[in-house]
Structure 1
Amino acid sequence: MNLAQRADVANSDAPESPRLLLVDDDPDLLRLLSMRLRASGYQVDAVSSAEAALAHLAVRPPDLVLSDVRLPGRDGLALFDEIRRTHPGLPVILLTAHGSIPDAVDATARGVFGYLTKPFDSRVLLDKVRRALDVSAPRALNVGENSQAWRAEIVSRSACMNEVLEEARMVAAGDASVLIRGASGSGKELLARAIHRASVRANQPFVAINCGAIPEALLESELFGHVKGAFTGASTAHDGLFLSADGGTLFLDEIGDMPLPLQVKLLRVLQERAVRPVGATRARPVDVRIISATHRDLDAAMHEGSFREDLYYRLNVVRLTLPSLDARREDIPLLAGHFIHSLSEKYGKTIHGFAPEALEMLVAAAWPGNVRQLYNVVEQVCALTTTPLIAATLVQRALRTPAVEVLTYAEARQRFEREYLTQVLKLTGGNVTDAARLADRNRTEFYRLLQRHTLTPAMFRLADEADDVAATGRP
């Protein structure tokens, strides 16, 4: 076997590199992109229209499609719709000019893997292509016994929560920005972490910050970093959270509380994919996926002018809404049991669970603080309990509800009978015949009931006569 034959054999055993289909009517850009991608080891087919792309797909399906949004004839969005219909698993990346960003954002919400704004950096392009190809390949996380590993921290069996989690799993496969809506304490950060773990960025950093908990003067430095000497007290350089999360996910909690001046700077970072630390003269490239969350109504804030519209559309590519705990009450026993398991270890106690009455109180209670409030209540009763089963009195105390008198069936029945007989005799002025008729009982049985409760008709006749005297002023 000669050298050429040996080379052919080696090449036949090597895995074939991914094939990309480029669609753009700009011949110069098409040629430049083809050169860059081929130099990175990809096979590239290039066409100038959506019709040519569809013809190519029918003959030789690629592993990924990169298409301009604005094309002659059928545009890139129509091409994407057709690809999704005929090749639903094929990832698509859209190339957009600034004027077509809203269209691209809309398409991302419908299933496009992502979009790049022209002009874009080669490194960003290659990284986006790599991530899209990774997502299109089978992932161990989605099969076998690890299928639920990504959402392990979220304890739920309710239908409404499972719908949100299924949406989150699908969103995780792409790289679109996600906005999580939900009341305080409903678990927005847990959902953000779950999305990160289910994504191709799972092995990279997950960094979280509460935008409403840090003063505006410090928030800029915390997000974007600063150089040494940038301001009084900046004795050393600080990278900031964007750079700390490079390659991974940055979670911006309570984004609705971010001051307007910082909203402008955040928008610039998202547009340029580069961050300039405070006091620096040069920007540094950064690659992060943004997941943001808020309990505020950003639509209303945007219309009031307290939240920028352009930033809103950048962040709100995909929206997920977490239900309140009141909307998923079937999860309360499950969550309470889950919390007991960890808290019993923390407090060094043997706790088997809640007494039935205690659990009923938890399920029936109002939970304005959602899952966070439930955790606090369970922790308080775990700290105070001296028995393996947590008593209802401890739950009542933790919930700060007024004392509830619990009667036996016999006691409740006796109380009802006495109150009923009293009302009937008051109504008839102590006339037993009339009272028995109203109660649908004979006089003998009615008298036995009066004796059982130590009631006499005269008590009510006297009361009735006293009322008459009071009304007329005469005895």
Structure 2
Amino acid sequence: MSAAQQTTAPARRILIVDDDADLLQLLSMRLRSAGLEVDTANSAEAAINSLDISRPHLVITDMRMQGMDGMALFEHIHKTIPTLPVIMLTAHGTIPDAVDATQRGLFGYLTKPFDSKVLLDQVAKALQISCAAAQPGKANDWRASIITQSPMMEDVLTKAKLVAEGDASVLICGESGTGKELLAHAIHDASPRAQRPFVAINCAAIPEQLLESELFGHVKGAFTGAVRDHKGLFQSAMGGTVFLDEIGDMPLVLQGKLLRVLQEKQVTPVGATQSVPLDVRIISATHRNLSAEIAAGNFREDIYYRLNVVELAIPPLSRRREDIPLLAKHFLAVLAEKYNRKTNGFSAEAMETLISAPWPGNVRQLLNVVERSVVLSTTPLISSVLVQQTIHKEEEMLMSLEEAKSRFERDYLIRILKITEGNVTQAAKLSKRNRTEFYKLLQKHQLSPSLIRQSQDLPT
């Protein structure tokens, strides 16, 4: 990429919504003449469909339209993409409604007929805010590791850029495998603390008896095995960011100690008598519903409000399928180089399989599927058969313990019936179960001994 390409600002894209074809054309001409990209929709319903596919930097909508009106469209946008600015075009009679909407988040309104200069001034101000997180070059490096073209993820990233500028505690919610630590690191990289340490700890992966020492440190002799002073996570991150992953798995006793650290902004290592002042930013993450955990008595409400000053929710991969081809191609390129393979793409059917898969393990599962496919592929294009087999293997690994037990039990019953040629008495004896119990198991799995006997009689 040339220096010129690097410094060229990305096009600002505006969606105009109006059921008046003449006004739609006039607005489009004025904005395009100002060097802006313009998409149009002749109804609020069409605008919502457009927003589901791609996100503009600004929406300009008329208030009075047939069907869903501009105010309802604004309410929909404000609820689903709250960082997307909306400018309303309104007649004099609806000015009070527009003023009321500005108090609820509408960026601004213009009365018709409007002056072109006033329009462009409003547009420029709105774009200055909405495009803050989409600057070229180094200004965008903070989010380089997050690969997305999803409007939902773009909204999360816009919020992340805004929150990164301050020091408020952030709680990142999302299913396992969605990339919560990547987002936490991106917030750190976009913050004034970017040159200081980013220290992550998985609260679910460290034994409870060691977690306090890992977080807060200890002094020599504090307990058996403490042969020297240990700073701990918080002191190691001084001036930077502490990322507490799976905070919902932190033991209750330790939650109380963490609360004191957050309130007093100082930490006392295990076995120490003196506290150490702290200067860290806290980002935490969980796949659990913490409100439900609080209700169940597993999580403290007071620490929840300390950690959840700003909440960012990462949508699961199944709700942002437009990212799947982008992520799959990226993983393929990285992994083909890692394993020195000449695999360079997916067949059309393979990509369709990837896009339509359920992905309960989210981006992490997609990465595993692509890696396995790259390793096993013997052709330049990965086939749909290989992708399907790989996804099936991943799903087996991701199933719950109960599902795994049920599948094993069913397979076991089939095998033992085949061995005994459908003889239930012998099968029950071999499995060390009485006949009644064995029949109940067969009914549970909807298995019939007669079908096993018939299969044994079939010619081979």
Q: What TM-score do the two structures reach when normalised by structure 1? A: 0.54
- Cα contact 1:141–1:149 (8 A) shared by 2: no
The equivalent position to 1:233 in structure 2, one of 225, 235, 239, is 225
Output the amino acid matched with 2:224. T
Q: Give the Cα–Cα distance (whole angstroms) in 1 for the partners of residues 384 and 344 of structure 2.
A: 14
Structure 2 residue 381 is matched with structure 1 residue 389: yes
Partner deviation per Cα, 1:59-109 (whole Å, 9 max, x = no partner): xxxxxxxxxxxxxxxxxxxxxxxxxxxxxxxxxxxxxxxxxxxxxxxxxxx
Task: Say how many residue pairs are matched.
Answer: 264
Distance change >3 Å, CA 141–CA 245, structure 1 → 2: farther
Instruction: Indicate the residue corresponding to 2:284 in structure 1.
Output: 292
Say which SS state the counterpart of residue 157 (structure 1) adopts: coil
Q: Is 2:369 the partner of 1:380?
A: no
Is the aligned partner of 1:185 residue 2:185?
A: no
Q: Which residue of 2 aligns with 1:173?
A: 165
Structure 2 match to 1:257: 249
| Helix, strand or coil at the partner of 2:201 | strand
Query: How much has 1:286 moved relative to structure 2?
Result: 1.2
Alpha-carbon distance in structure 1 between the residues aligned to 2:220 and 2:139: 46
Contact 1:206/1:245 (8 A) holds in 2: yes
Q: Pick from 191, 195, 202: which aligns with 2:194? A: 202
Question: 1:240 & 1:141 partners in 2: Cα distance?
Answer: 34
Note if contact 1:141-1:150 (Cα within 8 Å) is conserved in structure 2.
no
For 1:324, the equivalent position in structure 2 comes to: 316
TM normalised by structure 2 equals 0.56
Aligned runs of 1:133-172 on 2, under 5 Å?
Answer: 143-172=135-164
**What are the Cα deviations for residues 100-151 of structure 1, in whole angstroms up to 9, with x where unaligned?**
xxxxxxxxxx9xxxxxxxxxxxxxxxxxxxxxxxxxxxxx998542232110
- Tell me the distance in 2 between the aligned counterparts of 1:401 and 1:175: 43
Matches of 2:334 and 2:301, distance apart in 1: 43
Q: State the secondary structure of the residue aligned to 2:200.
A: strand
* Deviation digits for residues 254-304 of structure 1 (CA, Å, limit 9, x no counterpart): 000000000010011111111111001101111110000001111111122
Pair 1:274-2:261 in alignment: no
1:363-413 CA distances to partner (integer Å, 9 max, x unpaired)?
0111000000000000000111121111112101101189xxxxxxxxxxx
Distance 1:161 1:393 in 2: 30
Q: How much does 1:233 deviate?
A: 0.8
Aligned to 1:216: 208
- Equivalents in 2 of 1:347, 1:386: separation in Å? 13
Q: Residue 142 and residue 246 in structure 1: after superposition, are their counterparts in 2 closer, same or farther (change >3 A)?
A: farther
**1:305 corresponds to which of 279, 285, 297:** 297
List aligned pairs for 1:11-90, cutoff 5 A: none
Equivalent residue for 2:358? 366
2:284 match: secondary structure: strand
Q: For residues 351 and 330 of structure 1, what CA distance do their matches in structure 2 show? A: 22
For the 8 Å contact 2:133–2:158, the answer to whether it is kept is no
Please say if residues 133 and 161 of structure 2, whose CA atoms lie closer than 8 Å, have aligned partners that are also in contact.
no
- State the percentage of identical aligned residues: 64
Distance 2:211 2:392 in 1: 37
1:200 & 1:142 partners in 2: Cα distance?
Answer: 18
Q: In 2, distance between residues paired with 1:334 and 1:364? A: 14
Contact map agreement 1:211 1:253 (CA 8 A) in 2: yes
Match of 1:244 among 236, 239, 244: 236
Highest CA radius of gyration, 1 or 2? 1
Amino acid at match of 2:144: A
Aligned counterparts of 1:207 and 1:338: Cα–Cα separation in 2:
27
CA distance in 2, matches of 1:401, 1:384: 13
- Letter of the 1:273 counterpart: K
**Unaligned 5+ residue runs, structure 2?**
1-104, 106-131, 395-460
In the aligned structure 1, how far is the partner of 2:287 from the partner of 2:229? Answer: 34
Give the residue type in structure 2 aligned to 1:376. Answer: N
CA drift at 1:236? 1.5
Q: How does 1:328-347 map to 2 (within 5 A)?
A: 328-347=320-339
C-alpha displacement of 1:237: 1.3
Q: Quick one: distance in 1 between partners of 2:134 and 2:273?
A: 44
Q: 1:258 to 1:144 in 2, by over 3 A?
A: same
**What SS does structure 2 have at the residue aligned with 1:147?**
helix
Q: Could you tell me which amino acid in structure 2 is paired with residue 361 of structure 1?
A: T
Query: Which SS does the other structure have where 2:322 is aligned?
Result: helix
Runs of 4+ aligned structure 1 residues displaced above 2 Å come to 140-144
CA distance in 2, matches of 1:145, 1:298: 38
Unaligned runs of 5+ in 1: 1-109, 111-139, 403-475
| 8 Å contact from structure 1 (residues 208, 250) kept in 2 | yes
The aligned amino acid for 2:385 is: T
2:50 is aligned to none
